[in-house]
């Protein structure tokens, strides 16, 4: 995925909050939902957008799906943003 999808995904405050949660490590979808006053379907939609943008990955274990940050994409975005700063 390109930067366009990543930045579009990051434009939503709920998705940024999910990213912040996942900074602490992989979480099940149910654990993520517990941090929000939204339906599971709404959070699932946000997770789908983050996954499509390449910002998170998912892994099914039994009946649970665990989500975690895709650090390579996050680091690529951070590196690009850092490069905008230039050599001050």
User: Hey, what are 57's tokens?
Assistant: 């990955």
Model pLDDT for residues 20-60, shown as the tens digit of each residue? 999 999 999 999 999 999 999 999 999 999 999 999 999 99
pTM, two decimals, is 0.84
**Exposure pattern of 16-38 as b/e (b: 16+ CB <10 Å)?**
eebbebbeeeebeeeebbeeeee
Where residue 3 falls among pLDDT bands split at 50, 70, 90?
Answer: confident
Phi-psi region of 54 (alpha: psi -120 to 50; beta: other; left: phi over 0): left
């Amino acid at each position: 995925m390109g930067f366009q999808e990543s930045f579009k995904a990051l434009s939503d405050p709920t998705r940024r909050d999910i990213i912040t949660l996942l900074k602490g490590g992989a979480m099940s979808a149910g654990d993520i939902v517990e941090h929000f006053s939204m339906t599971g379907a709404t959070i699932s939609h946000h997770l789908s957008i983050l996954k499509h943008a390449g910002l998170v990955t998912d892994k099914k274990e039994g009946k649970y799906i665990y989500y975690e940050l895709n650090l390579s994409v996050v680091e690529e975005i951070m590196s690009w943003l850092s490069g905008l700063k230039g050599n001050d």
